[in-house]
Amino acid sequence: MKFYISRAKYPASFIVDFASLSRHAGVVDFSSGEGQIGHFAIVRFTHIGNFQVDYHEQPLGAQGKGLVKQGLEKIHQFLS
């Protein structure tokens, strides 16, 4: 299963021009590559405008809280 992520808002059932959007989209792909080992994905929008996808086999629990904390610290540094 493959999902595309974008920094845009569209109403439900809106037809999107994928060719123009795909250059900037993040891809979560559970059917190939790293995604085959995972059942969970964390998608982050980086400070340089890219999407970073990390795959995991199990729910993150405490690890997820650590990632959130790291993300908040990076946002704080970026804004300072």
**Alpha-carbon span 63 to 69, nearest angstrom:** 10
The model carries a pTM of 0.52
Q: What integer pLDDT is reported at residue 73 of this predicted model?
A: 85
- The pair of structure tokens assigned to 68 is 């959130």
Question: Which is it for strands 2-5 and 26-29: parallel, antiparallel or unpaired?
Answer: antiparallel
Identify whether the C-beta of residue 41 lies closer than 8 Å to the C-beta of residue 57.
Answer: no
**Alpha-carbon span 57 to 59, nearest angstrom:** 7
Q: What integer pLDDT is reported at residue 18 of this predicted model?
A: 67
Q: What integer pLDDT is reported at residue 23 of this predicted model?
A: 66
Q: What is the pLDDT of residues 24-64, one digit of tens each?
A: 678 888 888 777 777 788 888 888 877 888 888 776 665 66
Cα 76 → chain centroid:
20
